[in-house]
Amino acid sequence: MHSLRNLLQEAQGNGVAIGHFNISDLVLLKAVFAAARELNVPVLVGLSEGEREFVGVRQIAAFVRSLREEFDFPIFLNADHTHSLAKGVEAAKAGFDSIVFDLSALPIEENVRQTKQAVEALKAINPSVLVEGEIGDIGTGSEIHESSPDVVKGLSTPGEAKHFVESTGVDILAPAVGNTHGMLRSMVQGETKKHLDIERIAGIKRAAQVFITLHGGSGTDDEDLRKAIAAGINIIHINTELRVAWRHGLEHGLSTHPGEVVPYKILPPAVEAVKQVVGSRLRLFKGGRHAAQGA
């Protein structure tokens, strides 16, 4: 079985990105795993601190490991948006493959200082764990927002990215390149799309020479995602789109089975709805720069 680092290198060489999907229950995990297996592409599942709190840190690690081993399939586990070293240590000890250490709300030099310490502490627990650092402001909350944040204010620069990566030793960088967490209602309805600063991504990639993650991919224009992959994005996070599908699928399951109380008879439409979204995103990420040329 390849390591996550090897798979990222392979994806980078092939000009494709790896999909990262947030999960907080068995419906979401089943849907992500089924879609990835159908397309036969490696996949990352991630849980924020809140999502981990709900599912259980050691419990989800055991679950994902059991899928990886039983099906000999490259599914990896990420501790998304971890705001303290204690929570990072907990995830590293539980066997998570990567940890997003997010102190982007702090002034940059304080972010650098504490992220460097975290990289050292987490790799002392597991030398092969990948640590991702965050810079810039992309807003919080993978949910439906009424108004869009001021994206321009928090954008990352190539110089800042290079300084951060060289000073901290992170394996992966998440910059602010026009992306934001969550979706506007108009995006959920398909009327508007997020757009990315492709030149900025390319500049950051050239300067920082590191794996790059795009957070807040939900609601982003397909063509922008293809161009972002060609410009150097290696991992793309999708959360809100899955949450929207989960809710719609659940409502569908409940309304088509009035009076039903058996969870495994009510929940399959929710699994199917999420699986459709994951599948369509994975097909796009897998196409990478080749799809961009063809489209």
Cα(98)–Cα(230) distance, rounded to whole angstroms? 23
Closer by beta carbon to Zn ion, 35 or else 214: 214
- What φ, ψ does residue 19 adopt, rounded to 5°? -80, 135
Closer by beta carbon to Zn ion, 80 or else 90: 80
Task: List the interface residues with Zn ion, window 192-251 (CB under 5 A).
Answer: 215
Residue with tokens 């949450």: 243
- Alpha carbon separation from 34 to 41, 150, 170, 218, 287 (Å, rounded): 11, 37, 31, 20, 19
Among 25, 72, 80, 102, the active-site one is: 80
Is 222 known to be catalytic? no
Cα(142)–Cα(152) distance, rounded to whole angstroms? 19
Closer by beta carbon to Zn ion, 162 or else 215: 215
Closer by beta carbon to Zn ion, 150 or else 251: 150
Question: Judged by CB under 5 A, does residue 162 bind Zn ion?
Answer: no
Find the shortest distance in angstroms from Cβ 124 to Zn ion: 25
The separation between the first and the last C-alpha atoms of the chain, rounded to the nearest angstrom, is: 33
- Characterize 144-180 residue by residue with b for buried, 16 or more Cβ atoms within 10 angstroms of its Cβ, and e for exposed: ebeeebebeebbbbbebbbbbbebbebbbbbbbbbbb
Find the shortest distance in angstroms from Cβ 154 to Zn ion: 13
DSSP result, 202-220: HHHHHHH-SEEEE---TTB
* Residue 136, both tokens: 């810039």
Closer by beta carbon to Zn ion, 194 or else 215: 215
Q: Is 261 exposed, middle or buried (0-12, 13-18, 19+ CB in 10 A)?
A: exposed
- Alpha carbon separation from 240 to 57, 188, 201 (Å, rounded): 21, 9, 22
- Footprint on this chain of Zn ion (rule: CB under 5 A): 215
| Active site members | 80
